[in-house]
Amino acid sequence: MGMPVTVEVRDEGAGLKVTDKVFDYFKSVDERFSTYKNLSEISQINRGEIKPENFSPEMKEVFLLSEETKKQTRGYFDIKKPDQIYDPSGLVKGWAIYKAAGLIKHQGFENFFIEAGGDIQAGVDGPLGKPWTVGIRNPFKSGEIVKILKITSQGVATSGTYFRGQHIYNPHKPEMPLTEVLSITVIGPNIYEADRFATAAFAMGKAGINFIESLPGFEGYMIDKTGLATKTSGFERYV
């Protein structure tokens, strides 16, 4: 889906056979869900060539999870765009990383790190048996890190427009560009949860950080268009 992917497995005995399975899985996800590929399943669905009863099990799962997320976020997450085209990218990326982490665990390894397009799933131990470190970029200066997080067995997702432009929208006001907030980073129990709620929170504008605050087990860090940062009450314990 047009994004770099990094996989690191630090357990003894891990090798290319482990990472090869992960990359093969990501390729299969890309072939099925990429809106940029004419023959992907999602593209065929958008052209009306595949009916809901004939969706693949993976597609049915993603559509079900997307509808669940829409309800949990009061409609701020919606894979159906104003032009009536389905684009599940806002959920699929985190979902796929989470599934890839499961593949690694199933092979008996637990000290790993997966990053795809800025979204991260960390396993147990990082280098030297310490927590994994994750940097939050300065949206005004992408080469600069404003915060360094330390995480273990958690997911970190960042949603924003500073890197990819206006690719997220508010389903309640689709005609209005999102300009109040430049980025919001969410720490969650896993990357699937962090990613979907980060997307919804960004669509909420400045109210998004309050939404993250209301979720048990989640923390967030928001940077608005003036450079002002707002964080949830428990965020600092990860810095």
* Residue given tokens 């599940």 in the structure block: 88
Predicted local distance difference test score (pLDDT) of residue 167:
64
Q: What is the mean pLDDT of each run of 10 residues along the chain (239 residues)?
A: 88 91 96 95 98 97 98 96 92 96 96 94 94 95 93 96 63 83 96 96 96 98 96 97
What is the value of pTM for the model shown? 0.93
- 206, 227 contact by CB (below 8 A): no
Report the pLDDT value the prediction gives residue 174, as an integer from 0 to 100.
79
Of the candidates 113, 69, 121, 60, the one whose C-alpha atom is nearest the C-alpha of residue 91 is: 69
Return the domain boundaries, the chain: 5-238
Pick the CATH number of 5-238 from 1.10.1740.10, 3.10.20.30, 3.40.50.1220, 3.10.520.10: 3.10.520.10
